[in-house]
Amino acid sequence: MNSQTSNRWLIVLGTIIVQMGLGTIYTWSLFNQPLVDHFGWQLNSVAITFSITSFALAFSTLFAGKLQDRWGIRRLIATAGIVLGAGLIISSQVSSLWMLYILAGVVVGFADGTAYITSLSNLIKWFPERKGLTSGISVGAYGTGSLLFKYINGSLIQHVGVSYTFLYWGIIVMIMVIGGSFLIREAQVTSQSPAVNGVQAKDYTVKEMLKTKEAYLLFIMFFTACMSGLYLIGVVKDIGVSLAGLDVATAANAVALVAIFNTIGRIILGALSDKVGRLKVVAGALLVTAVAVSALSFLELNYGLFFVCVAGIAFCFGGNITIFPAIVADFFGLKNQSKNYGIIYQGFGIGALSGSFIAAALGSFVSTFTFIAVLSIISVVIALFIKAPGQRDILKKEKTHAA
């Protein structure tokens, strides 16, 4: 038993190292202006790269589970580390935007998403009794990688230039992901997943999951949570300047604040969801989001209120994207977790793209935040009433017998 426990904690360590390496892609905003200065490209054109990366990351999760079945977890993550590192290393040699889009966008995003969802799902399978906590550790490590590399990549850009930074970044990430993969072992899932709230969870296939209404309701909730957080991350500095009247330097501090509270939310809300119930925590987080975006829209903002609202949204976003892998496992079983969560995770990719399109259509921050508040309230209602398919079937039977 002790040997098994120690092995499980080595897998935790390996997953943390892998996830920290993968999370470094969230330092992309540091590269926008240096690339503009170096090549003379338009800022908007360079910034599109990260939207492509985010979409490729989400899209790859549809195929990651099948690749894991074929190759095994360790080989898949190591291969993803090689591809991710190579994509960044070769990006140091690009001289055209379309090459940047393919390498730093499609290749890096696809490799990152493949390793992200499989290492996360594998860790949850190793700790079925603590799904929220282990999801929080894994997704929190992803956020920590982003936070640490804001300083590492920022320093590299300053000292060796943007092209050489891609080279060193790629080498470091390749070593981290491949090195972490050696500590990871495939979790063996029994034929039946553990019971949740006294109800035995059935192991749904993707086809079976897609026949339930709960899959689509979870998707709506996840899309709402992702779009609100990702949109804020993209425009937080601009909101500070235009809505709160802050100077550019002060508003820029909000970028670091978002990263810090995003990471804290992942760890705290993930662990809390094991104790008080995942859907209650998600409902609370979405309610806080709705209140915070409403405050940004309709209240007269000062320095303190602006930062409280931003911190609240970032904290809840981090918590929500941590809890959802565990909710999918509770609802649809552990056996096909990578594949099932890969479907729900498309809410992240669509959310990443939708925020800016919705903002462009509505024409102002206030209108966009009002729209997000309405979506958040709808998702709160869903979270309060949705039940796992197994629980729903039991309630139906009880009502039938009572009648």
Helix, strand, coil percentages in the chain from 3-state DSSP, rounded to 5:
85, 0, 15
Q: How far is 368 from 353, CA to CA, in rounded Å?
A: 14
pLDDT score recorded for residue 2: 43
pLDDT at 297: 87
Structure tokens given for 146: 């982003």
Determine the Cα–Cα distance for residues 224 and 337; give it in Å rounded to an integer: 21
Residue 201 has pLDDT above 70, yes or no: no
pLDDT digits (tens, 9 = 90+) for 359-397: 888 888 889 999 999 999 999 999 999 999 977 666 566
Query: pLDDT-based confidence at 1, cuts 50/70/90?
Result: very low
**Length of the chain, please?**
403
Band of residue 263 on the pLDDT scale cut at 50, 70, 90 = confident
CA–CA distance from 263 to each of 149, 156, 287, 318 (Å)? 14, 23, 19, 6
The pLDDT of residue 379:
97
Those residues whose C-beta lies under 8 Å from the C-beta of residue 262, and which sit 6 or more positions away, are 143, 229, 233, 314, 315, 317, 318
Domain coordinates in residue numbering, the chain: 2-181, 195-397
Q: Which residues lie below 8 Å from residue 3, measured CB to CB, with a gap of 6+?
A: none
Mean pLDDT of 341-354: 90
What is the CATH T-level fold of the domain 2-181, as seen in this structure?
Answer: Growth Hormone; Chain: A; (1.20.1250)
Mean pLDDT of 101-107: 97
Task: Report how far residue 31's alpha carbon sits from residue 237's, in angstroms, rounded to the nearest whole number.
Answer: 16
Q: Of 397, 292, 383, 285, which is closest to residue 331 (Cα–Cα)?
A: 383
Per-residue confidence at 398, pLDDT binned at 50, 70, 90? low
CA end-to-end span of the chain, whole Å? 49
Give the residue-averaged pLDDT of 334-341.
93
Among the CATH numbers 1.20.1250.20, 2.60.120.10, 3.40.50.2300, 3.40.630.10, which is that of 195-397? 1.20.1250.20
2-181 and 195-397 have identical folds: yes
pTM for the whole thing? 0.84
β partners of residue 245: none
Give the model confidence (pLDDT) of 135-179 as tens digits.
999 988 998 898 899 889 999 999 999 999 999 999 999 999 999
Q: From residue 371, give the alpha-carbon distance in Å to each of 61, 80, 95, 344, 364.
A: 28, 37, 40, 22, 11
Task: Give the pLDDT score at 172.
Answer: 98
The per-residue pLDDT of the chain, averaged, comes to: 89
Of 322, 324, 338, 319, the closest CA to residue 60 belongs to: 338
**Residue 108: is it exposed, middle or buried by C-beta count within 10 angstroms (0-12/13-18/19+)?**
buried
C-alpha radius of gyration, the chain, whole number: 21
Give pLDDT, residue 267: 87
C-alpha–C-alpha distance, residues 286 and 110, integer Å: 29
pLDDT digits (tens, 9 = 90+) for 275-325: 999 999 999 999 999 999 999 888 888 888 999 999 999 999 999 999 999
Under a CB-based contact definition with an 8 Å cutoff, are residues 145 and 23 in contact?
yes
Residue 277, pLDDT score:
94
Q: Where are the alpha helices (DSSP H) in 212-302?
A: 213-242, 248-276, 278-298
Say if CB 166 and CB 100 are below 8 A apart: no
In tens, the pLDDT along 9-66 reads 899 999 999 999 999 998 888 898 899 999 999 988 898 898 889 889 999 999 999 9
Residue 196 pLDDT:
55
